[in-house]
Structure 1
Amino acid sequence: MVPSYSRAPRHALMRAPRAAALALTGALVLVPSLTGCQGAAVSDDAPAANGPVRIGVIVPLTGPVSQVGTALRDGLELAVKKVNADGGIGGRPVEYVVVDDAGDPANSTQLARRLVRQDKVTMLFGTITGDTAEAVGRVADEAKVPFGTAILGDTEHCFPYQWGFGESTRQMLTPAVPALIAKYGKKVAVVGSDYNYPRFYAGIAEKLVKDAGGTTVASEFSPLGQTDWQPVIKRIGSADPDLVLSMVVGADAVTFSKQAQQFGLLTPGLGYEGAPLDADFYPALAPLVEGRTHTVRWSDGLEDAESRAFTASYRSAYGWKAPIPEVAGNAYFGVRFFLGAAAKAGTTDPQAVNKAIGEFRYDSPLGKGTRFHPANHVLQADMQDVTIGAGGAYKVTKTHPMVADETPKKGCS
């Protein structure tokens, strides 16, 4: 079945001047209807070698992690606008097609296949949760089309055509865990949403806690969409932790954090780090996160010229007054890395672009000479400690230059 397409819902985005600008740059912002359609087999058809560079963007615009998906899409959109304003890639415009997977791996698989077969994309970008990233990674590998992610964390598996622009689990936790244990104490609890990535995160966290002289006293997981966290909070509280590492994601991050405070677990004296401290959640969790330190790849508190320009563009384009989500910055600079590699390749052929991505070096606010490690396809880049201040100021208080994650994974080549 060939799907029908409809306009994606936007916030303060599709005014007439903006629509005209999109037409000039060739950007295609589309969301397919998913009713009753099954993914077709991947075609061998490739994009025209001298045609536009086309990006297939797979994000959850609906569902429990839609807020983060929207931020990823918006960062990518501004990156494409900037590249096109600067002349495109070798004179060719950059186009993009956005589809909503609602955070469902089955949808992600179907849509990735459709973008390759029907839209003949040069590259894929997006997804939020680890299971959707793995689903698209398998399609990208099958179709030999590069796929970039921007969300924090990494999958357990490596694919030759998948590249992670977000901070890996080890890059997040390697500088954070020893500092947190030194400040708050050695007893650590880990809590997460119940899918593959938070469990992967927990495994790495437990090793780093042990290496830092700590003990993991509790490990809890709950399904996405959980509304009553009281039993989980009670079990964590009974373990009497000094520090909680949380990979509860999406709207659940807000629900868990508020209930953790309500039922006496989350106090100012308890260490708290993880996804709920991301800028996405500041408006809902300000009193709970202010004064805490958070380790991220990019922050709107960075003072370099490129970050300031991106921050100003984001606030202007979307009427955004809250802290800018980290994933938006990762997507913006990640897509520019991808497109820089495409320019180096000198073609829209996905296999040639994929080879160029593995060889490319890029200077940006993510670090000087950022590059992918061949053993795991993790971007070797800087990390920032930010202290969350009143009003949502994510002030950079320490930079960890080029935090390496060279841990080998099977399947990278």
Structure 2
Amino acid sequence: MMLDARLVDPLDALHLPREDDAFRVGLVVPQSGPLGLTGPSALDGALLAAHEINARGGIHDRPLDLVLVDGGGEPGPVSADVARLLDAGALDALAGCHTSDVHRAVETVAAGRIAYIYTPPHEGGTRRPGVLCTGTDPNGQLAHALPQLTEHHALRRWALIGNDYIWPRSVHRTATALATRAGARIVLERRLPFGTVERTVEPLLDALRTARADALLLSLIGRDLVHFNRALRRSGLDRRLVRLSGALEENGLLALGGDDTGTLYAAMPSFATLAEEPRQLLAERHRALCGPWAPVLDAYAVGLYEGLHLLAALADRHALEPNGLSRAAGRLLRGERPGVHLARAEGLGFAVLSGPSAR
């Protein structure tokens, strides 16, 4: 079976006429930067969704094309790339899976002009007209997982370590409140600029020892999360600390080389090993179209896949106007509350322990 989905270069979208009067969605996913290791999976999830939408006749009898924008750069340049496409009338909608600081910058240029669906876990708060977040906020990710681990492991001293941008800040505020209610306390908090973990990790490890932490909430992302978990392994702290992440998925676990400590947990909307029939069928369709060596569809990829199908459903209902997008999506998704699963790393994969917990 051939993949019926076209990926369009932004320069071609700016300067060449559309083939078959295609409906073009700007796909903002990281092909570089802190979350670059998740890019291939996210792209596969988007292509699979586009293939399925096109197999049903596209959007209003127009084929769906994806215009790939690298969402892995700094917020300003990424949003400038999106703005150029919008100013040229090259896009009919936007979908993205990238960091929240990039999201807020893209939101600024897209709001009120075009429907923009943002699919990964996010920091919460309000959004501008035409911007729809389909992922979960920090309370949705942690409200079940953090108290459960605190009780199960009799944890009393949590440390918080993350990257320094809008999502980890919101995560840390939520985690502090949840830990306090669970009878624990925060003994250390650090936030690091992207790409600095490798050269600053030894003082961080010393600080963890000094604080006598018994649990660690990690809101590092992508390669920084991988580097830090590798450093924990070298130090032996990985076997002393219960670790919980709201950003660890299969690609990050593979880059880490797996984990067999029994103390590394992730709280995410989806895992490849979920026994749910829709998740297994999605994996089978992906393998059939992209081959057995295609990247695993992680939580980011599944979120983007579902976000594009939601966008197509809204378009079918003529509901992509920015001012009515959230109301129309709410009606479409009524009763389908996103959930979060708690899973433990076991070797190169995850064992799902519980879920979903509703937002």
TM class by shorter chain equals 0.7 to 0.9
1:286 deviation in Å? Answer: 4.3
Deviations along 1:350-404, whole A, 9 cap, x unmatched?
5565652243227xxxxxx32xxxxxxxxx3122223333442x33332235x13
1:83 deviation in Å? Answer: 1.1
CA separation of 1:310 and 1:283: change in aligned 2, threshold 3 A: same
1:61 deviation in Å? Answer: 0.8
TM-score by length of 2: 0.87
- Could you say which residue in structure 2 is the equivalent of 1:356? 328
Distance 2:54 2:164 in 1: 40
Q: Contact 1:193 / 1:223 at 8 angstroms: preserved in 2? A: yes
Equivalent of residue 272 in structure 1, options 243, 264, 267: 243
1:157 deviation in Å? Answer: 4.6
Deviations along 1:11-61, whole A, 9 cap, x unmatched?
xxxxxx96xx55xx5x2331559xxxxxxxxxxxxx9xxx64321111221
Equivalent of residue 8 in structure 2, options 13, 26, 29: 29
CA separation of 1:193 and 1:137: change in aligned 2, threshold 3 A: same
Distance 2:300 2:323 in 1: 26
Q: How does 1:178-197 map to 2 (within 5 A)?
A: 178-184=147-153, 185-197=155-167
Equivalent of residue 251 in structure 1, options 220, 223, 242: 223
Q: Does 1:153 align with 2:110?
A: no
Equivalent of residue 182 in structure 2, options 212, 215, 234: 212
Deviations along 1:216-265, whole A, 9 cap, x unmatched?
11001111112221112211221111110001111111111111222232
Relative contact order, higher structure (CA 8 A, sep 6+): 2
- Could you say which residue in structure 1 is the equivalent of 2:312? 339
CA separation of 1:277 and 1:57: change in aligned 2, threshold 3 A: closer
Deviations along 1:60-85, whole A, 9 cap, x unmatched?
21223211233222211111111111
Deviations along 1:296-350, whole A, 9 cap, x unmatched?
211222233332222123334164477532111111112112211221227x655
AA partner of residue 301 (structure 1): T
SS of alignment partner, residue 84 of structure 2: helix
Q: How does 1:23-62 map to 2 (within 5 A)?
A: 25=5, 27-32=6-11, 52-62=22-32
- Could you say which residue in structure 2 is the equivalent of 1:396? 352
Equivalent of residue 126 in structure 1, options 92, 96, 111: 96
CA RMSD of aligned residues (A): 2.7
CA separation of 1:281 and 1:313: change in aligned 2, threshold 3 A: same
Structure 2: stretches of 5+ with no match in the other structure: 13-17
CA separation of 1:350 and 1:92: change in aligned 2, threshold 3 A: farther
Equivalent of residue 325 in structure 1, options 293, 298, 303: 298
Distance 2:261 2:62 in 1: 45
- Could you say which residue in structure 2 is the equivalent of 1:301? 273
Q: Contact 1:145 / 1:354 at 8 angstroms: preserved in 2? A: no
1:119 deviation in Å? Answer: 4.3
1:198 deviation in Å? Answer: 1.1
The more displaced of 290-299 and 336-345 is: 290-299
- Could you say which residue in structure 1 is the equivalent of 2:259? 288
1:206 deviation in Å? Answer: 0.8
Distance 1:344 1:199 in 2: 37
CA separation of 1:381 and 1:108: change in aligned 2, threshold 3 A: same
TM-score by length of 1: 0.76
SS of alignment partner, residue 138 of structure 1: helix
- Could you say which residue in structure 2 is the equivalent of 1:163? 132
- Could you say which residue in structure 1 is the equivalent of 2:15? none
CA separation of 1:149 and 1:357: change in aligned 2, threshold 3 A: same
Q: How many corresponding residue pairs?
A: 348
The more displaced of 300-309 and 92-101 is: 300-309
Q: Contact 1:134 / 1:157 at 8 angstroms: preserved in 2? A: no
Question: Identical aligned pairs, as a percentage?
Answer: 24
Deviations along 1:115-135, whole A, 9 cap, x unmatched?
222244222111411100110
- Could you say which residue in structure 1 is the equivalent of 2:142? 173
- Could you say which residue in structure 1 is the equivalent of 2:61? 91
Distance 2:291 2:76 in 1: 30
AA partner of residue 61 (structure 2): G
CA separation of 1:389 and 1:321: change in aligned 2, threshold 3 A: farther
Q: Contact 2:45 / 2:297 at 8 angstroms: preserved in 1? A: no
Q: Contact 2:259 / 2:348 at 8 angstroms: preserved in 1? A: no
CA separation of 1:155 and 1:119: change in aligned 2, threshold 3 A: farther
Richer in helix (by share): 2
CA separation of 1:318 and 1:327: change in aligned 2, threshold 3 A: farther
CA separation of 1:204 and 1:164: change in aligned 2, threshold 3 A: same
Q: Contact 2:97 / 2:304 at 8 angstroms: preserved in 1? A: no
